[in-house]
């Protein structure tokens, strides 16, 4: 591992100022992804700004929803009474992410900023436009079983790995930011980017911005919800495909719906057209199958991930069936 400086501010302003002094510096909280990347030489920040002493570790009621600080641990969010009552879909997704040990270290802010698990990104001997812009994409013609079927470019076909982020997109959350230009709110759906010509940029954060937390608006999606994660083994694996499904039902009629997928694109993939198609319809398998077909329009596979073209719609249907049946 390269040598680096380490500072541990206690105030948000001081943390932002510390980052402004060096464009290559990095914030660190749980470190569950960043330290791996540093050990492998994928990221070599000269300066780490440990933000664990900042006052960003609360879950509290906000004006129109729930505010979760960036430093709240994933395990704390998953077990929190308010979260489980108001946003059980979020609790499900967090419980499905990583191992218990990792959930006890990883923070909400770090979860949303974790980097792709594309194996070429982690192997510094291989070309990767995300790690080294202009070097090429090893996955395009390589081993691409885990890769995207939506929103990719000829520069990068990686997928975003966070389960939590899929639910935050589905629930219309906002991310709260502070940076050299002041504070701002960003729709969670605008936090992550598609790769385009600049796959080295995962997010739309401005230079020097710090994530303070997320706000999730109150919603009727407190009963009929299901996060379905399909993976290669039952624990501690990233999603091949995941679906966050939430229904608001009046008897068996769908009043409102939320749907988003993970493991299919460079960002959490909201299925807005499929959501709209569900409203006013009966909660039946035929309705869910029609929505899944709509959701898959525009999907395109590579040599090794064509299975996702079938797995993804089947996962949507099953997640909606589970959501309708849950209470
Ligand atoms: Fe790198 Fe993206 Fe290609 Fe993976 S898919 S090798 S992360 S450029």
Calculate how far, in angstroms, residue 61's C-alpha sits from the geometric centre of ligand 1.
39
pTM: 0.97
Whether residue 68 is contained in a domain is answered as no
Whether residue 239 is contained in a domain is answered as yes
Atom of ligand 1 nearest to the CA of 118: 4
Residues with CB under 6 A from ligand 1: 116, 118, 120-121, 128-130, 137-139, 156-158, 199
How far apart CA 57 and CA 18 sit, in angstroms, is 20
> Which H/E stretch holds residue 217?
strand 210-217
Alpha-carbon separation of residue 269 from 192, 209, 258, 278, 324 (angstroms): 10, 24, 12, 17, 21
Whether residue 241 is contained in a domain is answered as yes
Q: What is the pLDDT of residue 136?
A: 98
Whether residue 201 is contained in a domain is answered as no
Length of the chain: 327
Calculate how far, in angstroms, residue 116's C-alpha sits from the geometric centre of ligand 1.
9
Q: What is the pLDDT of residue 327?
A: 73
Q: What is the pLDDT of residue 180?
A: 92
Q: pLDDT digit string (tens) for 182-214?
A: 999 999 999 999 999 999 999 999 999 999 999
Q: What is the pLDDT of residue 78?
A: 96
Tokens of 190: 């605008």
Calculate how far, in angstroms, residue 154's C-alpha sits from the geometric centre of ligand 1.
10
What residue owns the CA closest to ligand 1's atom 1?
Answer: 128
Whether residue 69 is contained in a domain is answered as no
Q: pLDDT digit string (tens) for 14-57?
A: 999 999 888 899 999 999 999 999 999 999 999 999 999 999 99
Mapping DSSP to helix (H, G, I), strand (E, B) and coil, where does residue 215 land?
strand
Calculate how far, in angstroms, residue 135's C-alpha sits from the geometric centre of ligand 1.
10
Alpha-carbon separation of residue 306 from 14, 148, 309, 315 (angstroms): 48, 10, 6, 15
Whether residue 140 is contained in a domain is answered as no
Whether residue 247 is contained in a domain is answered as yes
What residue owns the CA closest to ligand 1's atom 7?
Answer: 121
Whether residue 124 is contained in a domain is answered as no
State the CATH number of the domain containing residue 248.
3.30.390.50
Atom of ligand 1 nearest to the CA of 142: 6
Domain count, the chain: 1
Residue-number span of the structural domain to which 302 is assigned? 224-325
Calculate how far, in angstroms, residue 139's C-alpha sits from the geometric centre of ligand 1.
6
What strand order describes the sheet that includes 26-28?
5-7, 47-50, 26-28
What residue owns the CA closest to ligand 1's atom 2?
Answer: 156
The residue ranges of the chain whose pLDDT is under 50 are none
Atom of ligand 1 nearest to the CA of 155: 8
């Amino acid at each position: 591992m390269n040598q680096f400086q380490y500072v541990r501010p206690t105030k948000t302003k001081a943390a932002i100022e510390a980052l402004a002094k060096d464009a290559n510096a990095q914030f660190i909280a749980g470190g569950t992804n960043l330290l791996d990347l540093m050990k492998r030489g994928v990221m070599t920040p000269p300066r780490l700004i440990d933000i664990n002493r900042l006052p960003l570790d609360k879950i509290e009621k906000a004006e129109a929803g729930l505010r979760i600080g960036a430093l709240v641990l994933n395990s704390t969010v998953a077990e929190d009474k308010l979260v489980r009552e108001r946003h059980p879909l979020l609790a499900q997704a967090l419980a499905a992410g990583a191992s218990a040990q990792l959930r006890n270290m990883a923070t909400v802010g770090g979860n949303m900023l974790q980097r792709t698990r594309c194996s070429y990104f982690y192997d510094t001997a291989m070309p990767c436009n995300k790690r080294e812009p202009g070097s090429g994409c090893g996955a395009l013609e390589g081993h691409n079983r885990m890769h995207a079927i939506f929103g990719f470019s000829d520069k990068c076909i990686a997928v975003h790995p966070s389960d939590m982020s899929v639910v935050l997109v589905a629930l219309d959350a906002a991310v709260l930011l502070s940076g050299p230009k002041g504070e701002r709110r960003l729709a969670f759906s605008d936090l992550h980017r598609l790769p385009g010509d600049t796959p080295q940029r995962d997010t739309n954060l401005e230079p020097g911005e710090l994530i303070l937390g997320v706000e999730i608006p109150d919603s009727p999606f407190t009963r009929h919800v299901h996060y379905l994660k399909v993976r290669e083994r039952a624990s501690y694996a990233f999603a091949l495909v995941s679906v966050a499904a939430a229904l608001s039902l009046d008897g068996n009629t769908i009043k409102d719906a939320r749907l988003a997928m993970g493991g299919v694109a460079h960002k959490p993939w909201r299925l807005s057209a499929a959501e709209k198609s569900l409203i006013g319809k009966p909660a039946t398998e035929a309705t869910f199958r029609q929505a899944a077909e709509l959701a898959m329009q525009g999907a395109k596979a590579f040599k090794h991930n064509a299975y996702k073209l079938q797995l993804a719609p089947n996962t949507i249907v099953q997640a909606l069936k589970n959501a309708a049946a849950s209470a």
